[in-house]
Amino acid sequence: MKFSVQPGGALVGELRVPGDKSISHRSIMLGALAEGRTRISGFLEGEDALATLEAFRAMGVQIERPARGEVVVNGVGLHGLRAADAALDLGNAGTGMRLLVGLLAGQPFDSELSGDASLCSRPMGRVIEPLTLMGAHIEAAEGGRPPLRIRGGKALKGIHYELPMASAQVKSCVLLAGLYAEGETAVTEPAPTRDHTERMLGGFGYTVRRKGSTVSLQGGGALRGCEIDVPADISSAAFFLVGASIAPGSDLLLTHVGINPTRDGVLTILRLMGADITLQNEREVGGEPVADIRVRHAPLRGIEIPADQVPLAIDEFPALFIAAACAEGQTVLRGAQELRVKESDRIAAMAEGLSTLGIRTQVLEDGIIVEGGSLGGGAVRTFLDHRIAMAFAIAGLRAAQPIEVLDCDHVATSFPGFEQLAAQAGLHIESSTG
């Protein structure tokens, strides 16, 4: 599938983007491990989160989907999972795989985890290392890549792990293994990363302690089923925040968006660039802060992106580079080497597409310099990365000529219905096969 985007347009009106991917994955995992039922609303029915849902069904958990966005998980308790008949296929989802491997390391049975070509090229050594220190036995393919084979029946012991990189997936993986470990499991992070696992464990009645940059828990407790209202995903909202900012005449209200302070770097960065963003109706929903976000067109200027914002906006850089391309002057990003090991190498992928559209960039090992300019048109490659596809689609709002975004199938991993919602808001987008 490809997107054909005609130049121009403005984003206006009110819309709600689909549920948060990170929270959706976790809601299934913790719901499955809880005692009793967990009712989830606002669940992201994207391929990534559905792959996690199917993985737990394959391990004997009864999960119902009574209506759109609604899921009921009949928890089996921490020790109620059973071995799946075949390898678990996590599709494109790094979060699904990295969190699951932690949880499976403490099971009495063997498991195998696999995924698509993108996932099978991503580094898993970062989770294998701490789990091995805890006593787990995990085999990977060459270079620490999936598929992963996890030997069950290993007694895990708690560790205090200093994360070598700011990664919520690694932190969460170790904490989930910690549920099965003897004693205390603690993780210290070099910079704040998304804390949905910690918040949600609390919601399930499990005690998690935070002291400075260290989170810890004791193994051997129990989770109680609960209700989860998944907010709209700020990472999906980001395409509209950028789109409305760059397109003259835009005035858009994005409702019920999660604004967890470990995820709000995109708001901070866009505001530093001069964006007109206001939060309305701020509230807390099931332990997560939520707001309606109003965004109106504003002229943007290039900035040096503050280093402390990088982990807080890690998934939003494809969209932010489009903002940078439309800004006056230079935008400099450093300290973002993690972008090279996402669903694609997002620095290389964005640099290539921006160059096709006539924007000058300088690629750095750990970032990029984007020179603001005028977007032309052309055919851009996505490297099968959902966020690269959506970033170049919204670029059409300020392009002088049509943009063809090739290979957009993966958009469904995080944002099913993106083209329809974007078209409804005012983007001149059509999708076609081929």
Residues that bind ligand S3P (CB under 6 A): 22, 95, 167-169, 172, 193-194, 314-315, 338
Q: Starting from the edge strand earliest in sequence, which strands make up the sheet with 12-15, in order?
A: 12-15, 251-258, 288-296, 276-285
- SS3 call for 272: helix
Nearer to ligand S3P, 193 or 250 (CB): 193
**What one-character DSSP code corresponds to residue 312?**
G
Nearer residue to ligand S3P within complex by CB, 169 or 361: 169
Residue 132's identity, in one-letter code, is T
Least CB distance to ligand S3P at residue 53 (A): 15
Q: Minimum Å distance from CB 45 to ligand S3P?
A: 17
| Shortest spacing between CB 167 and ligand S3P, in angstroms | 4
Q: What is the DSSP letter of 20?
A: P
In the complex, least distance from residue 124 CB atom to ligand S3P, rounded to whole angstroms? 11
Contact between 311 and 337 under an 8 Å Cβ cutoff? The reply is no
Among 258, 238, 399, which residue's Cα sits nearest to residue 318? 238
- Eight-state DSSP code of residue 178: H
Min CB(235)–ligand S3P separation in Å: 7
Secondary structure class of 352 (helix, strand, coil): helix
CA angle 16, 20, 21 (to 5 degrees): 135
Structure tokens at 429: 């987008």
E runs forming strands in 125-222: 137-141, 145-151, 160-162, 184-188, 209-211, 214-218
Query: In the annotation, is 315 catalytic?
Result: yes
d(CA 103, CA 19): 23
CA of residue 324 relative to chain centroid, distance: 21
**Residue pair 236/293 in contact by the 8 Å Cβ criterion:** no
State which residue, 338 or 352, has the beta carbon closest to ligand S3P.
Answer: 338
Alpha-carbon distance of 159 to 102, in angstroms, equals 13
C-beta nearest to ligand S3P: residue: 22
Would you say 169 or 431 has its CB closer to ligand S3P?
A: 169
Cis peptide before 147 (omega within 30 of 0): yes
Active site residue: 20, 89, 233, 315, which one?
Answer: 315
- Residue closer to ligand S3P by CB (options 168, 393) is 168
Min dist. Cβ of residue 27 to ligand S3P (A): 12
Residue 423 φ/ψ, nearest 5 degrees: -65, -40
Q: At closest approach, how far in Å is the CB of 311 from ligand S3P?
A: 7
Q: Are the C-beta atoms of residues 145 and 123 closer than 8 Å to each other? A: yes
* CB proximity list for 27: less than 8 A, separation 6 or greater: 38, 40, 43, 71, 73, 200, 228, 230
Residues tagged active-site:
315
